[in-house]
Each structure stands twice: as structure tokens, then as C-alpha cells.
Structure 1
Amino acid sequence: QVFLEFFREHVVWERPQAMTIGIQIVRDQPDVVRDSEKRRLRDGKIVDEVLEIDKEWRSADFNVNQQRKEIGIIQKGITEKKKESKGKDECLDELAEKNKCEAKLAELEQVAKTLLVKRDTRLKAVGNLLHTSVPVSDDEKNNEEVVKWGVPRSFTAKYLTDGFRPHFELLEMLGAVDFEAGREVAGNRGYFLSGPGVLLNQALINYGIAFMSSRGYTPLQPPFFMKKDLMAKTAELDDYDDVLYKVMESPDQPELDKYMIATSEQPISAYHYNESVDQKRFPLRYVGISSCFRREAGSSGRDIRGIFRVHQFEKIEQFVLTSPETSWQEHESMIQMAGEFYQSLGIPYHVVAIVSGEINNAAAKKYDLEGWFPGDDDGKGKYRELVSCSNCLDYQARAMGTKYGFLNTDPYCHMLNSTVCATERALCCLVENYQEAGGVRVPRVLVPYMLGQEFLPFVKTLKPEKAEKPKAAKK
């Protein structure tokens, strides 16, 4: 009994909920949270709204607890009276009073519950505390370049007679992708990888897993869908409309609905759900491999040609759990690891710190690694996103109930995530950078995973696009 009382008081965690910054930091440091919201170029008044509703909830919760104490006192009196008297009608007044108090308690609990839902709903709109180094702007043109590696290829390549071709043309010329059949089977953004496309894609997967495993990361292949309640704890609200595919098991049982994952980050963030992690194991470094599914509802008209932006793709993902003391060190290590991966592939890139107005609520800081696409922008070349690397501090862990230690006061883990390689997108970058006059050279590190093939020849000539007929002049 003594152990159970200690367990209830000290070990039972807070109820896991949807991703939020946590009410305690808003109570303790409202000015810090308000300043972070302003740096996100949002109105800091939401902090005052949350505090006001929280004040109302705490008052309502106090009333609930007082009412429960009153019921407890009445029940104690009834118990003692029954011990003293054998009469069955001795406690009628007390029982009537108890019933009256219980009815009032139900009303008070409903008021408190309504206020709690209202408070937490507003709290979801408050973003994580931004790191002081995050550049303040809402224009991605102001992303701050922090690293640059490699020399972007230009038109000076002697063996190219007609300039750099874009990835969607190269993949078709290699016989690596069948866009027409893909659209016929799956609709918009559908595709079949074929021949060298399958081999290259699988080579990137196998090489990526080997690369990360040799550096101490534990491979994980997660489920490709998640239960509704767990997805709500790791995905942002906007994702439900623009990103996630929903799988219905029964129209009569919506609680059984599942969601297809958009990244292995989502299921891996739940890998230690409601768990205490031994701090001696930190940092816990995972490399996830999965197919990913995205609706891309907010990307209509963008990257409609090729496989740069598609509904289904494979992705290798870094995911790290660590303590607050080492999370920023891990963040730098993760983006460096991603950089080393693309250096090994010979892809020129730069790393940018994302501006405050473009960082999602869960992240405190975000880097993007952008690879050089020489065939982009009509052959002028352009850096485009290959990697996104975020430190979410305890934002996700709070929702998942993932702590280290066994006491209620012990801190939550910090969770960080970073792309290693979204393979279809990386394919686009590879073929543009390794194109030659008659085909595409295979990066040296991928040759062992390509059945020894060092060069992929073009097997198809593209049909010239039909020029529009000039409109007849009006008479």
C-alpha cells in the first residue's frame, strides 16, 4: 500500500497529449514565450489568452478538488455512523446530501474539462521556443547560408553539347521512370521506377543504411501507418489537410482510423511512447527507412514534372533522443552527418539556417541542406532542398510522454530529426550532376550496389515538344 501511494504521487506521468510547448513554461516564463512568438512574426497576445484561460481552469480545477473533499468528508461520516448504529435509516439525510454534492461535482468537472480543452487548443498554436541564432524573417530569401561544399557544375563541361538537361528528361532517356503508365495507374504524380531507376533507388537505400549504421545509428523500419491518436501527438494540425492520407477501417468506428506516414520520423517519435529512457543510453540514434506518403495538397502546380515531388517515395531518416544538455550538439552533428553523406556522393550543396517565419511550431531551429541541380531553372542551375534537420527540444517528447528518470518531476527527452536521403529526390539530383553526352555516370560509392555498373547509357530519344501554332491575325 505504501509503495502504491508513492507510485501515484511520484511516478505516474502527466497525461500525454497533442504536441504543445507545455503550459508550465508559459506560466513561468511568459515574456520568453511571448518574445519567441514575436520572432516568429506572430502576435504575442496568444500567450496572454492562454494564461487567462489557464487561470480560469485552475480555479475550476480547485473547485472540483474542494467538492471531492467535501464528498469524502460526508462519506466518512456515513461510514462511521453505520458502524455505530444498526439502523438502516440513520444516514438518509447524509446520503441525500452526498447525492446532491455528486451532482454538483459532475457540473464542476464538465466546466473544468471544457476550460482545459479550450486552453490546450490555444496552446497548440504556440510554437516551440526559437533558438537565439534563428534569423528573423518571413522571406526564405533571407535564409542564412552557414556551410557551402563543392563546386557546382556549369556549362563548361566539354562533353555536353546542348547544355544540362533537367532530371525528368534524363530519367526518361535512361528508361528509369515510366511517367505515362504511372499516371494511368495512380493518377497525378504517379510513376513506375523501372530498370536502372529501380537499381539506383535501391542502391541509395542500401548505401544510406550502411553509411549511417557504420556511424553508430541503429536501423529501424517502422509501420507505414499509425493509429489516429498517436498521429495526433506527432503531426501538426495543418498536416491533416495538406499532407496525410487517411485509412478508414469502418465508417461506424472512426476511432479505428489510421494515417499513412509522411516520414519515418512520425512512428519513430512514438517508439518510446509513455516510456522512461535510461539516461545512460543517450544519445539514442536511429536511422529509419520507410516508404512515405504525402498528399501534397498545398503544392498544386509545383514540380509537376518528374519525381522531385511525388505522393509516394522512400526516405532514410535520422532520429535522435537525448538530454537537454546535449541536444544542440546533436543538432550540429546531424546536419554534419547529412553533409558527409552528400560529400561521399559528390553532390555540391550548401546548408542554410531557415528563417523564423518558415519554421514549423515543433522546431526550435531548422537547417536545410540544398543540393545543386545544374539542370534546374532552364539550365542555369539552382540549389534545392534535399535535407531538413530540426531540433524539437521536448516538444514531441512531451506529447509522447517520453522522459528519462522515474519521478514525475524528471525532464522529458529532447527529440531531433533530419533527412539523410529522400531517394527519389536524390535520384533527380544525381542524374543532373552525373550526366554526360551518352548517359549518366554512377557515383563511385554506389557502384558496388549497382551490380558493378559504372555507366548508365541513354536508351531513349525524347520526342521534341510540339510548338504551338501561331494564332491567325485578326482581319
Structure 2
Amino acid sequence: MIDLRLLREDPDRVRASQRARGEDVALVDSLLSADERRRSSGVRFDELRAEQKALGKLIPKATGDEKAELLKKAGTLAADVKAADAERDAAAAETQELLGRLSNLVHPDVPVGGEEDFVTLETHGTTRDFGAEGFEPKDHLELGQILGAIDVERGAKVSGSRFYFLTGVGALLELALVNAAIARATAAGFTPMLTPALVRPQSMAGTGFLGQAAQDVYHLEKDDLYLVGTSEVALAAYHMDEIIDADRLPLRYAGFSPCFRREAGSHGKDTRGIFRVHQFDKVEMFSYVTPEESQEEHQRLLEWEKQWLTALELPFRVIDVASGDLGSSAARKYDCEAWIPTQGKYRELTSTSDCTEYQSRRLQIRVRDGKRVRPLATLNGTLCAVPRTIVAILENHQQADGSVRIPEVLRPYLGGRELLEPVSK
């Protein structure tokens, strides 16, 4: 959530942010009104409570009619205090409810618009000309079947659409990717973490995934637990309700977990293969820094993602995601999109978001700097979303005979193997 003081001091900035996101601008005025009622009712309660205490000191000293009058007044005052207390609590609850619905403030440099209004910042690598090489590229599913690496038919039989098995070299390729990604993150100073895939409602809500993203989340009603769509949730909630000393920052974690997404609203999109699925594994970077450091840390996370994709020898571009395509927690987000030859376009492989103080305020995570205690900043960045990375590797590194060249960075994790060989035609 945002700082209420900022809302009171500069409501036009908050309105502009809501407008840029394509979200409800009237929410800002409703929140301002609720906050004003909260503060005024709080003042009214304090005044009545002070009067009640002062009256309580007079009653023992009074006698006769004076005491009876004071007792009568005390009864009326007690009812007024109770009513003021209820009004204050109701206004505070309404303020928190409305504040929880308000998205993070968009960074002023974010391009305004919808999904297609991003700005391309960089392009890396060279896309292959398969025609010049004398063959038509196969898509990742056909390659996965030739290699004995992907089985979506049995995935659908066992679990339904958008599920799959990674088999043989497919399973080995995932393990190689995960181990290589964790090794790189560890070398960069991240603490490796294996995180829970089930979290409590306060963890999911605190990271901002029960707002606009709620329809994409799996909920286990009997246990009131949520399946995470990213280990960002567990990593953000790891220090929930804690105060962290400034000399411990930055804190950087690299979490590995299974991820679950309902893919609501994606009917008919990417139904072939394993690009858009309900369950996948992912290595996620997560940082806790001071608010003053968040923009520099955002650039560092992006740089680590770029280095990883470059090591995988994938052509990719970096985009500055438009305001209307940001998650509610993100003030700014960069995506790295890899070239997918059979689709003839770039597709998202990794992303990194600067969530500023939005999540830490919701999760009550603060930093102590001397005598000052205040919210800190949180950031996240995908290092390796496994299925999509496999898609990009298979398609970009395929050979005419259906084999796939393994990027050098992964070879030590595959026993030195240089090629994935076909097992069937």
C-alpha cells in the first residue's frame, strides 16, 4: 500500500497513477474521505475520553445532588465514548480496505498505455535465418517429442489441459537449468532458498496477489491456503512483521519453487506445448533494500537477467512495460523477451519489478536506520521460468536433424553433453 501522507499531500499524483493504469480514479477521493473521517473521529474519541477521565476524578469528591448529576453525566459520556470508538474503528477499517485496493504509484518514466504500448529499450543477439541454413524450424513441442523430452498427451490424461510431463533429457534439461541458475545467483551474492508452495492469506494479500490477480490464483478453501504463482510471495513474506537493521541490507534471496497459475482469461492462447501452463518451476530473485536504493537495485536485477539469457545464447529484447500492464505492486517493470522462431516474435521469458515500499507496508516489514524505523523497498526478478526457457532453447538451438545444441553454460550440468539427440523420427 502507499503512504497515506503522500496521498493527502499530493492526491493528484495518485489520481494520475490510477488513470495511467486504467484503474478507478474515484477510489482516490473515496479514500481521502474515509481518511478524513478516521482522523476526525479519532480526535473526537480522544476529546471525549479525556473528558471522561477528568469527570472520573471529580465523582469521588462530590456528594449529594452534585454527585448524582455527575454520575448521570458520566453515563451519557460513556455512551458517547462508546459511539465515538465504534465510529473511529469503522472509519479506520474503511480506510484500510480502500487503501488495500489502491495500486502502487507508477514511476513517472513508465510508458503510459496498455499491453502493446511498451517501449523497447535494448535488443541482444541475432535471430537465425533457418531458410539460409536449408531447413524449416520445428516448434518446441515437435522437437520435444523427437527428443523424448516432452509429453503433453499424458499430461492432459493425468491432470487436464495445460499440464505436461518432462521426460528423459527434458527432465535433465530442467535440472540443469535450475542448478545453473542457482549457481549464478549464489555467485552474485543471493542466498539460495527452497520456499513453500502453499501460503496463508495474509502472505498472498500482502504481496498484492489477491487484488487484480486473484482470479489467477488457486485457493484451497478447506485449509484456507493459496498455491503460489511465484516464489516472490513466500520470499516477500519471509520477513513479515520484522524490523531489519540497515547494516544487513541489501538482503538478496534466490528462491526455487513450483508455481501454479489458473491462466484465467487465457482461453485459446498458447494452447500448444508448454509455453503457458498451470504448473511450472521457477528460480526467482528477490531483494530487500532501502527505498533510496530501489531503482539502482532494479537495474542490477535486470542486468543479472540479461547476463543469464546471454549465457544461454538466446536472442532477446528488453522492454519497459506500459502502465496498464503492470501488476498492482509494481511501480515499474522490465521484461526480457526471447525470440521464438516458429512464432516469429519475441515472448516474455523473465521480468523484474520494483515494488518500492508497497509490499513492505502491507507486510509490516521495516528497516531500522539509527533511531529511525521506516518501510523498506522490495524487488523481484525472474531468473529462470523453466518451461518457457526450455521452449526458447529447443527452438533457437535446433539442428536440421532434430537434435538440439546445448549452450555451453549448461553442459557441466548435463555431464558435458553437447547435443540432445533424437530418440525417434
Task: Sort the TM-score into its range (normalised by shorter chain).
Answer: over 0.9
1:202 counterpart = 2:189: no
* Matched residue, 1:191: 164
**Residue among 273, 277, 286 paired with 1:306:** 273
Displacement after TM superposition at 1:419 (Å): 0.5
Equivalent residue letter for 2:241: N
Matched, 1:35 2:16: yes
> Equivalents in 2 of 1:188, 1:215: separation in Å?
38
Secondary structure at the residue paired with 1:314? strand
- CA distance in structure 2 between the partners assigned to 1:452 and 1:23 by the alignment: 56
- Structure 1 unmatched ranges of 5 or more: 1-19, 250-255, 462-475
The aligned counterpart of 1:465 is none
Q: Which residue of 2 aligns with 1:417?
A: 380
Distance in 1 separating the partners of 2:397 and 2:294: 36
Taking a change above 3 Å as real, the CA distance of residues 190 and 39 of structure 1, as seen in their structure-2 partners, is closer
Q: Which amino acid aligns with 1:391?
A: D
Shift of 1:411: 2.4
Query: Between Structure 1 and Structure 2, whose CA radius of gyration is higher?
Result: 1
Deviation at 1:435, TM superposition (A): 0.7
Q: Which of 22, 25, 29 matches 1:48?
A: 29
For 1:217 and 1:113, locate their aligned partners in 2 and report how far apart those are by CA, in whole Å.
42
Q: Secondary structure at the match of 1:223?
A: coil
Who is 1:390 aligned against?
353
Match of 1:435 in 2: 398
Query: Secondary structure of the residue that 2:375 maps to in structure 1?
Result: coil
One-letter code aligned to 1:442? I
Contact 1:276 1:406 in 2 (8 A): no
% identical equivalent positions: 37
Q: Deviations over 1:332-371 (max 9, x none)?
A: 1111110000101101100000111211221111111001
Is 1:178–1:191's contact at 8 Å kept on the other side of the alignment? yes
Shift, 1:304, TM fit: 1.1
* Aligned residue number for residue 401 of structure 1: 364
Q: Does the aligned pair in 2 maintain the 1:21–1:128 contact within 8 Å?
A: yes
**Which one is further off, 107-116 or 129-138?**
107-116
| Counterpart among 192, 203, 206 of residue 219 in structure 1 | 192
- Per the alignment, residue 5 of structure 2 pairs with 24
1:432 and 1:238 map into 2 onto residues whose CA distance is: 36
Q: Is 1:338 equivalent to 2:305 in the alignment?
A: yes
CA–CA separation in structure 2 for the residues paired with 1:405 and 1:331: 22
Q: 3-state SS of the aligned residue for 2:120?
A: strand
Aligned partner of residue 127 in structure 2, secondary structure: coil
| CA distance in 2 between partners of 1:109 and 1:406 (Å) | 35
Match status 1:152 vs 2:127: yes
The alpha-carbon distance between structure 1 residues 263 and 91, as it changes in their structure 2 partners (threshold 3 A), is farther
1:218-237 equivalent positions in 2, closer than 5 A: 218-237=191-210
CA distance in 1, matches of 2:21, 2:205: 23
> What is the RMSD of the two structures over their aligned residues, measured on CA atoms?
2.4
Residue 105 of structure 1: how far off its partner (Å)? 2.9
Q: Tell me which residue corresponds to 2:116.
A: 141
Which segments of 5 or more consecutive residues in structure 2 lack a partner in the other structure? none
Structure-2 separation of matches of 1:242 and 1:173: 36
Deviation at 1:406, TM superposition (A): 7.1
Task: Pick from 240, 244, 248 the counterpart of residue 281 of structure 1.
Answer: 248
Matches of 1:214 and 1:415, distance apart in 2: 21
Deviations 1:267-320 (A, max 9, x none): 111111111111112221111111111111221211111111111111111111
Given that 2:208 and 2:329 are in contact with CA atoms closer than 8 Å, whether structure 1 keeps it comes out as no
Distance 1:49 1:145 in 2: 37
The amino acid across from 1:167 in the alignment is H
TM-score, normalization by structure 2 = 0.93
Distance in 1 between residues matched to 2:83 and 2:207, nearest whole Å: 32
Which amino acid is the alignment partner of residue 436 of structure 1? Q
Query: Residues of 2 paired with 1:364 and 1:396: CA distance?
Result: 11
User: Which residue does the alignment assign to 1:471?
Assistant: none
| In 2: Cα distance, 1:76 partner to 1:408 partner | 37
1:261 matched residue in structure 2: 228
Question: Which of 34, 45, 63 is matched with 1:64 structurally?
Answer: 45
3-state secondary structure, aligned to 1:277: strand
The amino acid that maps onto 2:121 is V
Give, in angstroms, the shift of residue 65 of structure 1.
2.0
Q: Distance in 2 between matches of 1:201 and 1:75?
A: 72
Contact 1:144 1:353 in 2 (8 A): yes
Asked if the contact 1:182–1:190 (Cα under 8 Å) also holds between the matched residues in 2, the reply is yes
Say which SS state the counterpart of residue 232 (structure 1) adopts.
helix
For 1:104 and 1:186, the matched residues in 2 are separated by 60
Give the match's secondary structure for 2:384: strand
The count of corresponding residues between Structure 1 and Structure 2 is 424
Once the 2 structures are TM-superposed, how far is the Cα of residue 91 of structure 1 from its aligned partner?
A: 7.4
- Counterpart of 2:229, as a letter, is A
Structure 2 letter corresponding to 1:295: R
Kept in 2, the 8 Å contact 1:241–1:297? The answer is no
Q: Which has the higher strand share?
A: 2
